[in-house]
Amino acid sequence: MNEPMRVVGWNVNGLRACIKKGFVSFLESSGADIVALQEVRAFPEQLPPEITDSPGWHASFFPAKRPGYSGVAILSRTAPSKVETSLGDARFDDEGRFIVAHFGRLSVASIYFPKGNGKERDNSRVEYKLDFYRAAFDRLDQLRRRGRVYVLGDFNTAHHEIDLARPKGNHKASGFLPVEREMLTQLQNEGWVDTFRAAHPGQPDHYTWWRQFGDAREKNVGWRIDAVYASPSAAHRVTNAFIWPEVLGSDHCPVGVDLK
């Protein structure tokens, strides 16, 4: 896979619902070679054959054990040489948050990082969230020693104040807690590149998720929590990093990179 490529990620907020809103048309018009999905919220057998058995796409899924919850997938024009889904810890694997498709020396991960707020919105899952980050990137660090790695996912954290519309009111909210933001800083210190911010430094008002009330999307009151992170060798191949807020069908929008 040495030709120019496009890799796209999207938290679809329920793939069955997104299909009803035009996902298949998006898939064909996106120009993507690989599409990484998060929050699929379905078992493969619950999905139509145009997704699971399309002649144009190879589909790999990793659902959560709990029905209607979480789940990740990777669709690719070329069949992967290998797919892995386990982080070796049932706490993480049971929630269906991690899948990596290997294409020779190229690895593409689709990851749905946890929210930290918990059922009572008391930030009770922050520790779990940070443990998941570390476990995922410990595995990805191993992969980047052998080749190029792209991590497409809903990171559920806005890194800097520029990455959300209203930072002042969210410093105590999961998704913008100092300890969560510090984790992203740590990852970047370890060499991982936030491809969109590297390509568009200092540009405000670029968001990937909006609340589903208060006309948040129309007013662009959002958060940039979906991203493509690249290993150092992979970052050199990026020719364009983009966000597609005009694409509807979920409360998130697609993000991606073009590669040389």
**Residues designated as active site:** 154
Cβ density class 34-55: b for 16+ within 10 Å, e for less: bbbbbbbbbebeebeeebeeee
CB 38, CB 112: distance < 8 Å:
yes
Token look-up 């070679």 returns 33
Cα dihedral across residues 12, 100, 234, 183: positive or negative? positive
User: Residue 101 corresponds to which tokens in the numbers above?
Assistant: 């498709």
CA dist 122 and 117 (Å) reads 6
User: Residue 146 corresponds to which tokens in the numbers above?
Assistant: 């052998």
CB 72, CB 83: distance < 8 Å:
no
